[in-house]
Amino acid sequence: MSTGQETTGGEVEPWDEVTPDAARRLLVAAVEAFAERGYHATTTRDIAGRAGMSPAALYIHYKTKEELLHRISRIGHDRALDILRTAARREGAAAERLADAVSSFVRWHAGRRTTARVVQYELDALGPEARAEIVALRRQVDAEVRGIIEDGVASGEFDVIDVKGTTLAVLSLCIDVARWFTVDGPRTPEEVGALYADLVLRMVGAK
């Protein structure tokens, strides 16, 4: 049921933009630690230890522990938004674009689950101004998906009563993948992506 060509969904490590090397190692270590134990349960000594450095080294590259979370959250949301934008702005019917958006978004949440977990569940640990910046990005994420659904409704492809509520549900379904997905589980990110794209097309009454 409706795949066609798809945009790639976050299979590469996207931390190349973080330099120098030591700063990137610290950030990757922080992603792992935050994903495993949560922001508040993670100590700066744990992050530094995972990166093979002393606790003090962290403060050469980052002002505070919260700045680490902020950087991770910012880069992660940029990536998520990029994935959805790519799918939303390609050529094709609304059904194809929605299926592509969902499957690549889900593949990112499953395949890069540690990052997604931090991005989606540690928002409240940020201070007010950093959180406001991230919330703005989330609104753009919502707008991309809502745009595709509105297109489908306008063209008669979809049958949706509550566009805002359905958009919320679609994103909610995708995001929760970061909560339950495990690499030891029976499904690959690609399989979950395909299943969820199918389920979402049913939700919007495609065809």
Partner DNA sequence: GCCGAAGGTGAGCGCTCGCTTAGCATGGCT
Partner DNA sequence: AGCCATGCTAAGCGAGCGCTCACCTTCGGC
Q: Which of 124, 139, 156, 183 binds a second copy (CB under 8 A)?
A: 124
For residue 205, the partner it binds in a second copy, DNA, none, with Cβ less than 5 to 8 A by kind, is a second copy
Structure tokens at 135: 């919330």
Which range touches a second copy (CB under 8 A), out of 13-21, 23-31, 108-116, 176-184?
176-184
Q: Is 41 in the site for a second copy (CB under 8 A)?
A: yes
Q: Is 202 in the site for DNA (CB under 7 A)?
A: no
CB environment 104-132: b (16+ within 10 A), e (fewer): bbbbbbbbbbebbbbbbbbbebbeeebee
Backbone phi, psi, residue 93, to 5°: -70, 160
Q: How far is the CB of 195 from a second copy (least distance, A)?
A: 5
Restricted to residues 55-74, the positions that interact with DNA (CB under 7 A) are 55-57, 59-61, 63-66
* CB nearer DNA, residue 22 or residue 163: 22
Cis peptide before 128 (omega within 30 of 0): no
Q: Which of 8, 43, 155, 188 binds DNA (CB under 7 A)?
A: 43
Contacts of 183 (CB under 8 A, 6+ apart): 113
